[in-house]
Structure 1
């Protein structure tokens, strides 16, 4: 008896996917292009075109049961794409909005930041002049009802709460709010509107002349957000900048190029890409950069990928600023998002990018083996790379030299100029337990709730410093709180972790103010060894870089300029 092999069983799926992909491409690119793409797919499958047509026709007309071809395609396409590089991916229509939203820079919602604490939705912040602000929602409110549904104490997932709060712009949602000092529920109706998503989440002065900016991703608005932040920081005395790209997994390539342009003098190569035909596209700085006079430190780690690495690589290869932290992720592939008529899309790798010295920082991968690729970061940790630069090995054939004589390597991420190991000194068993069980964070939520009036009055970092410094018993009060939650004091551990816990507590409390992440970093940075090292490097440089006077147009002094723009309001999201 004839037995179906695995390849025979999967053949209809692959065939259907190939045909459907061609149809989709035809709708997007036009018939001639679609036919070419179909033929290309067929060549890769080693199947003649007439056999595909025959097979699809046989499935539709003679298969014993009715078949939903679209469903087969949806299951087959991810399988096909998974055989390519690790970053090519098929995105179903149902997931497109969620995936694109952070990069688009806005969504339709009510304009609050909330937290799910003990199964209750607590409003942490409200966007000034946003939909909820206009409706009378205030920080500290607990959302008990959404429309006619009880949500407090119902074990509803945070994702589901977000889904219920969001909706089409102009639509209404009724909220029942529990508010401190008021016995009955406060009923409000919020008219949903466009809510901006900030990719630049923190901007503040750390010292008299050193500013700190945290960029979480490269969204459509990132370049504009950075310009607004720098304009404001200049009015506060900024002459040096720490740009934090840690954990920034990338985003739009053009935004990384535009930001790099701000820091470089004219005619400096930023990045170049090469496609399958070796067509090379180069991007150069144009000399209009507004931040070319700033002394610069850029922070990276294993979570910094793609556009983050393009920016860091452009600055490193041009000897502009100092890269500090740990080795970056190692993604040197460029994806193009190709939409299909049904709302789904294919993110297809169409090129490789190279830093100005010709480095590809893409780490090795085997097509179709996503599991090994995904395990790379864990393997780095296991091999001690997070703790010692000597544990990192680069291929000497991929060695390059910058114009300033600095040695750099390709083939596996951006290696920082200054390596800062992962610091675990203060991570005692007590600290790990109270943080791992979320007790430390929950304490700050309750603290913020009890001190809401004072926190709502915070407008500047000076306000926040004064408020937090006045509370001398914060750690001791937390230890008593943790004991009530079942974590017995370990006084030796507490003494060792005390400074870290105090900084963490103050940072979380600071995030409960209108300063949001700027309030967080204001308190946490003294315990962040990478930021501390960056401050030290900017104050007393050890790595040769392009000096400020060399980074501006000839004849112009390297000094601060007056601000021309007001800072953008932070845009938290619900």
Structure 2
């Protein structure tokens, strides 16, 4: 036995010695050699696929926070939001009490055509029960999505029906809209909300702008809050809509990627008129290209909070087994020559903790805690305003984050799905009555008031759920809350802050309820019109855009000496083109 061990050890030492003596040891070959040794000598069975997948993921993770590895089975799903469609039945859902509850039925899609409603609970998919402990989103997606033209049978429980209803749905392509809302906020000001930069964003944006112009739009507010980005080419196309010919949009450059510039072609559809872009800490990547381009070219004003700070470009590389790596190949630079990428020297976890860092430092609430060194100072192209690189794009008008409307009770109502579920049940009984009294979105927005009985029934439904009651129970160690409400359910008393919370959320809750009803009765566009009452950056932007003087900072500060001729007409037109001309 001792002899066998010695022989094995000598063999391993010989192999090791042979490898170490190679004059140039290719690192790719080194990885293969390690894998071969593991397979040849490791004491247990090895899952080579998992081993390699994990190794690739770790390699890319160590490069930067945005390079990543996508397994073959996840590639298609990861691309769907940006390709702007998938094949399925056309609902959004939430899992409540181990049951699939329909939150939204997408207009014009298969589920709407067969009669699925918001609030329906799916209890069976084909011949498989859909109610069980451990039900998750992956299971639902796997069973409801499928090739266009294929069929799926679903059994649903609907309020007011004693027996399950069965629907056969023929799957189809389901659009994922990136322009979630567009409407007029003032007689001459339009609002467009863009949630991602996808393959169809430009088509959607053109449609929105055309519609708003027909309604009198001369100036525009573009909402990029919480827009995490998307396709670079879409961001470039969108920037092009606002700029004059040959103005710089962005350029990219990397160690193995030559400098590549993108400039406006002069054919944009909104080269004139005032522009405001809404941004916050959730605006990243392509959102920062658009907002930074608008700021650096002095084309408009930014309102909100500092953006995330992603200035890296990823390129997908497909591998033969269907998997994919998204590799950072370049940095992008906005027109002032600044790169807004934040440092990531301390690793991915530290990098992703940015929101809490800003929260804890007070930056989100207005404290002037974010300072950039002079080495990262740049100037805007036209007016020479000071801007900074290396940490996102900062707004021209800061609006603090508003946490005053949130509370345990309010947050639990939303998180546990009671707002959606109770709203659907309410409309099952009252839809016809409400639409008879408020037949248009305009009349609903301006005049509909949620009745008190709705809230009382909502509270009663929520407070009969132990998970909800556990969510709103105030721990004994919490010394902040001093006003308590005891809720009795079964044989247990729950110490809650209900009364305190409902006072705190007295403005947010009615808006959330009404917005949810608006989505069900009309569409997402009306949902945002109701919700945006509490969109403080938008309200600030509406105030800013009405005063022409607020836009003076975008133009050259030219002083004319006494006795000199007035500024030539050409320069005057150049100075004022963005304020008063309309294309």
Give me the TM-score of the superposition, normalised by structure 1. 0.80
Q: Does 1:414 align with 2:393?
A: yes
Q: Which residue of 2 aligns with 1:524?
A: 531
Q: Does 1:393 align with 2:400?
A: no
Q: Which residue of 2 aligns with 1:38?
A: none
Moved more, 535-544 or 355-364: 535-544
Long gaps (5+) in structure 1: 3-7, 16-41, 561-574
Deviations 1:423-470 (A, max 9, x none): 233445654565566555554344344434467888853143256337
2:543 pairs, out of 511, 532, 536, with: 536
Long gaps (5+) in structure 2: 7-11, 473-484, 486-496, 556-571
Structure 1 residues 121, 366: CA separation in 2 closer, same or farther (over 3 Å shift)? same
Moved more, 167-176 or 490-499: 490-499
Q: Does 1:86 align with 2:65?
A: yes
Q: Does 1:494 align with 2:505?
A: no
The CA distance in 2 between the partners of 1:68 and 1:434, in whole Å, is 44
Structure 1 residues 335, 459: CA separation in 2 closer, same or farther (over 3 Å shift)? farther
| Correspondences of 1:499-514 after superposition (within 5 Å) | 499-514=507-522
The CA distance in 2 between the partners of 1:420 and 1:464, in whole Å, is 29
1:144 pairs, out of 105, 112, 123, with: 123
Q: Which residue of 2 aligns with 1:383?
A: 361
Q: Give the structure, 1 or 2, with the largest relative contact order (CA under 8 Å, sep 6 or more).
A: 1
The CA distance in 1 between the partners of 2:260 and 2:299, in whole Å, is 22
The CA distance in 2 between the partners of 1:432 and 1:142, in whole Å, is 22
The CA distance in 1 between the partners of 2:315 and 2:505, in whole Å, is 46
On the 8 A contact 1:264/1:289 being kept in 2, the answer is yes
Larger radius of gyration: 2
Deviations 1:346-397 (A, max 9, x none): 1111100011001110001117x21211222211111111011512111121
On the 8 A contact 2:96/2:416 being kept in 1, the answer is no
Displacement of 1:117 after TM fit? 3.9
The secondary structure found in structure 1 opposite 2:208 is: helix
Deviations 1:51-86 (A, max 9, x none): 667666666667777755444322211122222111
Q: Which residue of 2 aligns with 1:558?
A: 581
1:332 pairs, out of 302, 311, 319, with: 311
Q: Which residue of 2 aligns with 1:29?
A: none
Q: Does 1:211 align with 2:211?
A: no
Count of paired positions: 520
Q: Does 1:168 align with 2:175?
A: no
Q: Does 1:345 align with 2:327?
A: no
Q: Which residue of 2 aligns with 1:469?
A: 449
Give me the TM-score of the superposition, normalised by structure 2. 0.79
The secondary structure found in structure 2 opposite 1:382 is: helix
On the 8 A contact 1:300/1:416 being kept in 2, the answer is yes
The CA distance in 1 between the partners of 2:97 and 2:45, in whole Å, is 48
Moved more, 404-413 or 518-527: 518-527
On the 8 A contact 2:276/2:301 being kept in 1, the answer is yes
On the 8 A contact 2:314/2:329 being kept in 1, the answer is yes
The CA distance in 2 between the partners of 1:366 and 1:234, in whole Å, is 47
On the 8 A contact 2:256/2:329 being kept in 1, the answer is no
